[in-house]
Chain A
Amino acid sequence: MLKTYAYLLEGLTIRRVLGVTALCAVCSALLVWIFLNTYRDLLVSALSVGYTSMVLFTIAGNIRQSRVPREAMQMLAIVVGSFLGTIVAGIVKGRDIRTMFTEKLSGVTITMSLGIGVGCVVVAAYILREKHARDQARLARAEAERHQLEKNILESRLQLMQAQVEPHFLFNTLANVQHLVETDSAEAARVLDSLIHYLRAALPQMRESTTNLGRELDMARAFLEINRVRMGSRLDFSIDVPEPLKVRAFPPMMLITLVENAVKHGVDPCCECGSITIRASENAGTLRVSVEDTGEGIKPKKGGGVGLSNIRERLRALYGGAAKLVIEEKAPHGVVASIEVPTAVAPAAA
């Protein structure tokens, strides 16, 4: 029972008690020049009022309620504390409580008023200091959040800069080209062309900083061409994008990530053939680019979201909340991943 309410006295530190004691001693020393009472008599009154107010003030600060502001509760505690403290002082001094409200009323009123006066000044100072500390903490937190955000943006930019080309992909493709060259196939030149095209876009040193949907589509097409040759009849793809949309600004390396996911996690794990379709449309100031596959779909416990969270973070950095990435399941099987960006706003430089 006691333990349950112990929290009410939280903050009642030795420091606080010493502070109140010192304040009472100083006040009594100052008042002894004005009043006729002895210093001891004044000190007893001051301490009674001081301690009672202090305890009530602490409790008022800790009570869990949300109807009345904490500061108001604390002020009220000072008033009530001064009143009760004055009575306590009377008891301590062995006075008759009844006379306190009749013939000694003026003295009692003075004690109470002084208690309330000094108490309010102290509490006001305390509340101001606390508010200042809170503001300071809020500022520090905002600063920390800003730093975190900047760090995130920087990190996603760095990730973007890192080579996107997997050695496994590169060497397998080269092995294919090797065979096509050896067999004098006309396709050798085409695959090499696609590979060059893809590398030009995918290697960070070669990457252009600004891009449009058309260029991103070219890179995706090169990547899909290579995979169509490698996977034989297992992969089929089509690109359905209206010509006018190809000049629209579109952030770099996002479409290719979706296409790579569609190949790697969608079609490739399937033994049967699958197809990938890239579509783009514009509606009410929003450009929507989607990559659809008929692959095996996403298993709830399968990973592979690194590229996706990178896209989300970059979209947030570029467009705030105005752009989004949505992943949806497709019937009977497969996944549609789509990116929506506003066309009215040019992306922030990134």
Chain B
Amino acid sequence: MSDERVSAVIADRGRVSAVIADDEPLLRAQLRTRLARVWPELAVVHEMENGRDILEVLDAHDADLFFLDIHMPGVNGLEAAKAIGSRAHVVFVTAFDQYAVEAFERGAIDYVLKPFNEERLALTVSRLKERLGSRPPELAQLVESLASRLAPRAPEHLRWIKASVGSNVRLIPVEEVLFFQSDEKYTRVVTAEAESLIRKPIRELLDELDPARFWQIHRATIVNVDYIAAVKRGLKDQAEITLREHSETLVVSRAFTHLFKQM
């Protein structure tokens, strides 16, 4: 039955052709030699290191099958599968990943786990032969949900501050910054160990920093709440903040004292 379908495809297009995409050269070679053993009629027409040129490859080779590694630099396997859409059948090849396997099982997506043996590959091949005559399923939605499961989109907050120190650009993880304070043309970035100047103004920083950790307490100051040691009432209606690991005190202007009102 399945062989009949394959024969139909072969009759129609001359042969069944496949493309292998994996960033690791040895694993591409391994898949190719094993496919040659369990499915000698299959022609591997192209190999790719990543999914970057997937559209060109689709146009150039009109392949029936794509074996896609999920983790690839540039354009990964999931993104490539989305681009392929229903133009070809897709088999995911991936190293152990429990979440991926669950998702594959539920979505009835063809997959092979690395390292795999020939029996497992033969099973996938026989399933593929079954499906080959029919139109490839539209994977876009499944791939979308898979992608969100595999790489939960982290909130887009600033994680690193790039500050010039002499001729070098130092990268400071934001969680180490005690406070930012505008200083005429520049913004001071103060950590427990050092202090540097950046050009990004307080207003822009405020938009990009994680608001759960970084609070504006003054027109010119953003403080990392993790490092606040104490808040004291200051002159007029202001308050003063003392910090852990730093001797400087920060002024909370009247507009922001409500942040520290007792609950």
* Interface hits, A59-86 → B, CB 8 Å: 64-66
The total number of A-B Cβ pairs within 8 Å is 111
Does B149 sit within 8 A of A, measured CB to CB? no
A182-B159 CB under 8 A given contacts A175-B114, A329-B169: no
- A172-B114 CB under 8 A given contacts A270-B73, A302-B159, A305-B159: yes
Chain A nearest CB, measured from B71 CB (Å): 7
Q: Measured between alpha carbons, how far is A232 from B24 in the docked complex, in Å?
A: 7
Chain A, residue nearest B71 (CB): A168
Q: How many residues of A contact B (CB 8 A)?
A: 43
Q: Tell me if B55 counts as interface (CB < 8 A to partner A).
A: no
* Interface contact B173-A308, CB-CB below 8 Å: yes
Contact assessment for A168 and B95 in the assembled complex, using a CB-CB cutoff below 8 Å: yes
In the complex, are the beta carbons of B73 and A269 less than 8 A apart? yes
B193 located at the interface, meaning its Cβ lies under 8 Å from any Cβ of chain A in the complex: yes
Question: Is B105 part of the binding interface, using a Cβ–Cβ cutoff of 8 Å?
Answer: no
With beta carbons under 8 angstroms apart, the residue of B73, B115, B161, B172 that contacts A174 is B115
With contacts A64-B233, A309-B173 known, is A168 near B96, CB below 8 A? yes
Over the window 166-204 of chain B, the binary record of Cβ atoms lying under 8 Å from chain A Cβ atoms (1 yes, 0 no) is 001111110110000000000000000100000000000
A314 to chain B, nearest CB (A): 15
How distant is B243 from chain A, measured CB to nearest CB, in Å? 13
Whether A305 lies near B168 (C-beta < 8 A) is no
Most buried by A among B95, B157, B158, B162: B95
29 A-B pairs with C-beta separation under 8 A? A64-B234, A167-B96, A167-B97, A171-B95, A174-B115, A175-B27, A176-B24, A179-B27, A179-B29, A179-B33, A234-B23, A269-B73, A271-B50, A271-B52, A298-B171, A299-B160, A300-B208, A301-B160, A302-B159, A305-B159, A305-B160, A308-B173, A309-B173, A321-B193, A324-B193, A327-B170, A328-B170, A329-B169, A329-B170
B: residues with CB less than 8 A from A are: 23-27, 29-30, 33, 49-50, 52, 71, 73-74, 95-97, 113-116, 154, 156-162, 165, 168-173, 175-176, 193, 208, 233-236, 244
10 smallest beta-carbon distances between A and B, as pairs: A175-B115, A179-B30, A329-B169, A232-B25, A327-B171, A171-B95, A175-B114, A171-B96, A172-B95, A305-B173
A167-B95, A172-B24, A230-B26 given; 20 more Cβ-contact pairs under 8 Å: A167-B97, A168-B97, A171-B96, A172-B114, A175-B30, A175-B114, A175-B116, A178-B30, A178-B115, A183-B29, A231-B23, A232-B24, A269-B74, A271-B50, A301-B160, A302-B159, A303-B159, A305-B173, A327-B171, A329-B162
Interfacial residues, chain A to chain B (CB-CB below 8 A):
64-66, 145, 167-168, 170-172, 174-176, 178-180, 182-183, 229-232, 234, 268-271, 298-303, 305, 308-309, 312, 321, 324, 326-329, 335
